[in-house]
Structure formats: C-alpha cells, structure tokens
Amino acid sequence: MLRAVIFSAVLLALPIAGAAQDFGQPPAGAYTLDMGHTRLLFRVNHLGFSNYTAMFTDVSADLAFDPAAPEAMQVSAKINVASLETHYPDPALDFNAVLTGAEFLDAAQFPQITFVSTDVKVVGDQKAEVTGDFTLHGVTKPVTLHVQYNGGWGDMPMDAGARIGFSATAEFNRSEFGVGFGTPAPGTTMGVSDRVEVILEAEFIKPR
C-alpha cells in the first residue's frame, strides 16, 4: 500500500508532456492486468431516465503485447461475477445479490464472465477493434471491443517494470446471452434496457 502511495506521488511530480517517453518504450512480451489502475463499468438505461452504472471489482487479464505487430496481439480476461458492485444506498436491500442472483447473472451457476480475443484489426492511430469470444451466463458469442492505446513506458525505477494503458468500449444485447429479465416491452422504456454498454480503463504491467 505504501509503495502504491509513493508511486502515485512520484507520478504527480512528473512533467505531464513526455513523461512516459522519458522511461523508454514498452517492449513486447507478456503483460498482466494491474487491477489497482483498472476499472470495468457497465451501463444500462433505466426507465429512459438515466444510464444506470455499476462495476466489477475482481478482474484478471493476460495480454501478449507486440507494438511492432499489433494485429498479432492476443488478450484473455476473466471477471468474477460475484464481484459486482452497485453501491446501492439502502442497506435493507442487497442489490448486488439481486443482480448476481438467478433472475439476472446467476453467479452461483455461472461464476465467471470471460473474453478471449480472436481477431485484432487496426482502424486508426493507436486504435483497434478487438473481436473475441465473450461468454456470459453460459452463452458464448462474438463481441468487439473498440480500443484506444494510450501509451506506456519501458521501465521506471518506482514502477514494477513496463506499463501500458488502454481505454475500451463495447456493446451487446443481454437477452442474447439469456439475461432478458426486466427488458422493456416493445415501444416502451418501462424496464432496464436490453442494450449493455461496457466501459473499460485498464493498465497492464510487465515485471522486470
């Protein structure tokens, strides 16, 4: 914990422009997700009034990173369904348990959500579409992540080694994965939308 605080303080002291480049370019190799600097959110429309947002707090991922051949890169990820966090304010209702219960995600029967990339397509400057096999609620279908590579560094004395960062979004219909409870009737917004938006901010590290 203390090391993380010191590391964050050092980063705040660095010049913003060119800070990452001062420590070299991140090398190719095997990287793992740094959950301390990662957030995985999802949003669904609630009654047409707001985009209800929640998150998963237990996520792991492995990335085969190669800046010289981005289309050859591969990533796999696992999400612990029981780690869903809604920050629901009423202690009388365990809303986390409702959403991970049998009517929705059913964590008891389907404890993990997984993603395994099958194709990477470069679509712009530091941008790629990463398509993979997405498994939710026991159903596997292709889903595409729209990924922005945010850069990284090769080695920094106060860090574990090389570090890289990404921002990504994706969308899918939850009913296609057998999670259709509460979707609005056609032509109405009385319920929670079938469409799910995923928002990911992630950093990966390659230890020395």
pLDDT given for residue 18 in this prediction = 47
The two three-digit tokens of residue 84, written as one number = 């869903």
Q: Which two tokens stand for residue 19?
A: 């800070």
On average, the pLDDT of the chain sits at 92
Q: Determine the average pLDDT of the residues in 161-171.
A: 98
What would the mean pLDDT of 142-170 be, rounded to a whole number?
96
124-144 pLDDT per residue, tens: 999 999 999 999 999 999 999
In the chain, what percentage of residues exceed pLDDT 90? 89
Residues 79, 40 contacting (CB under 8 angstroms): yes
Task: Please give the residue that has the higher pLDDT: either 14 or 32.
Answer: 32
> CA-CA distances (angstroms) from residue 101 to 138, 154, 184, 189?
14, 43, 20, 23
Tokens of 63: 């990335």
In the three-class reduction of DSSP (H, G, I as helix; E, B as strand; rest coil), residue 17 is classed as coil
pLDDT tens string 15-56: 444 455 589 999 999 999 999 999 999 999 999 999 999 999
* 11 band by pLDDT with thresholds 50, 70 and 90: low
One-character DSSP codes across 33-91: E-GGG-EEEEEEEETTTEEEEEEES-EEEEEEE-TT-GGG-EEEEEEEGGGEE---S-T
- CATH architecture, domain 30-207: Beta Barrel (2.40)
Using alpha carbons, select from 104, 111, 108 the residue that is nearest to residue 78: 111
Say what the pLDDT of residue 40 is.
98
